[in-house]
Amino acid sequence: MVNDEKSRVTLDCRMLAKRREAHEYLAEKLDFPEYYGKNLDALYDCLSGVKGEIVFLHADEIDVSYAKKILRVFEDAQKKYHGLVITYEDGQS
């Protein structure tokens, strides 16, 4: 899990379209605990312990409402938990 100011995790927004798969992906990438409830409320709760940078790739390509809801949860958490930094990149190298 991202746990310090220098940590950085990259997430591909294309993996966030389907609820079940999105939460499995997030749990794996962010190393959430086994008890992670795999819903938006649980995501917000787990983000309280995340510190560092979360980089979202391909956010401009998503048009699925569930993926947009997930991004809103991250943005809301960033406002409350100041150790969490959200950035967006287009994914092009």
For the stretch 25-82, pLDDT in tens is: 999 999 999 999 999 999 999 999 899 999 999 999 888 899 999 999 999 999 999 8
17-37: burial string, b at 16+ Cβ within 10 Å, e else? beeeebbebbbebbebeeebe
Neighbouring CB atoms inside 10 A of 1's CB total 14
Name the domain count of the chain: 1
Could you tell me if 2 and 45 are in contact, meaning their C-beta atoms sit under 8 angstroms apart?
no
Strand partners, 84: 52
Full-model pTM: 0.88
Find the CATH number of the domain harbouring 23. 3.30.370.10
Which residue range forms the structural domain that includes residue 56? 3-89
Could you tell me if 24 and 56 are in contact, meaning their C-beta atoms sit under 8 angstroms apart?
no
